[in-house]
Every structure is written in C-alpha cells, then in structure tokens.
Structure 1
C-alpha cells in the first residue's frame, strides 16, 4: 500500500541555509516517527509559499543518507488569502504496511496551526 505522509514547518526568513535546515529537520522527524526507509519511497512533493524562493528545499533530502535517488519535486503552494506564510510543506509517498491511523504527520513551528487536530 502506498500512503501519503504529510509534514510542514515554517521558517523566519527567506534564506538558503534556514530553508534547507528546516526542511531537513522536518524530514528527519518524519522519517524517524514513521520508520521510513528511502527504498520504500515512491516520490516526494515539496511545496513552499510564495515568500520562499532562495533555494529548492529538495536540497535537504540530498543530505540524508540513502535519499540520493528518491524522486523529489518542488513547487509553489497556491497563494490562498490569509494563509500561513513562510511555510514548507511535504508529501511523502511511501510503501508501507501501516494503516492511516498509524501514520504520524509532522507539523513543526507555526505549521502546527495547519492541523491542530493531529497534535498529541
């Protein structure tokens, strides 16, 4: 079964090092909490809000051992009025035997506001 695992994090500035570091932090937490093996990942979509354009956040995945060959695509999040700013979102498509309820979606920093219902 392929499951989607969501994650999101906000940053405080449009800066390459900050964006890459935040993306890596979010991905490492998603990998840890869901026991994700890169070999089981079909693809990763990463979106950023319009105010983030200093770097492709996919660069962060290349810093994680074993993720070199995982297909990653970056895109812009749709600009919805009054939506959360400075936000990086991820959707990881992973082959897993876990049920929907067993998946841990990761929301960090101000991105917690996106899904407060998933916070434990």
Structure 2
C-alpha cells in the first residue's frame, strides 16, 4: 500500500505522539487511531526482530514468543473493536507461555491476559 509522503509524515508524527507526550496536547482524538495502532504494532514487531538478531541467537524462543504475542495483538485489535469469534478462538488456544494484549477502547485501557499456572 503506497502512501503519499505527507500522510506518512502525519502518521509518523501521530506515532510519536502516542509513544511520548507531545509538547502540546492535541485537544481531540486522532481520526486514524486504527492506522496508528496497526503501524505501532508493526514497528514493535520489527524492533523485536532487530533485538533478536542482535542477541546472536540467544533467547530465540523468547523472541519468537514476543513476535507471536504482538502478531496476535495486531489481529485481535484490528479495527478498534474486539471480535467475539476471534477472541473466543484465541482464548481457547491460549497456552501457558502466551499472552493476549487487548485494547478496551471504551475504557482507554489495555488488558494483558495470561493463563494461570496450575
């Protein structure tokens, strides 16, 4: 998907504003939150790959687990709404080493879910 440089610049500025507090608060909600969240998760997945590569193969299982968690987060939170069918499927397949990261937009909250060890 090709984007014009201006929209890429706006997206990058929005990403920075969501990672760090901007010098001036915007005063309104971004109208492209889904695009920002999708891009931010993509950058986190890329950063995970860079960190994995710099660790010389050490902790490769852990880095793969982080990739899986972030990829699942990207799938579950796409569109700004949680999909019941997808959520139930991921709950059923949740392994002890996995986590689910959910964005609860109505509460402006994040939820981290992990299966309890028995």
Same fold (TM over 0.5): no
TM-score by length of 2: 0.26
TM-score by length of 1: 0.26
The structure that has the greater radius of gyration is 2
The structure, 1 or 2, with the larger RCO (C-alpha pairs under 8 Å, 6+ apart) is 1
More helix by percentage = 2
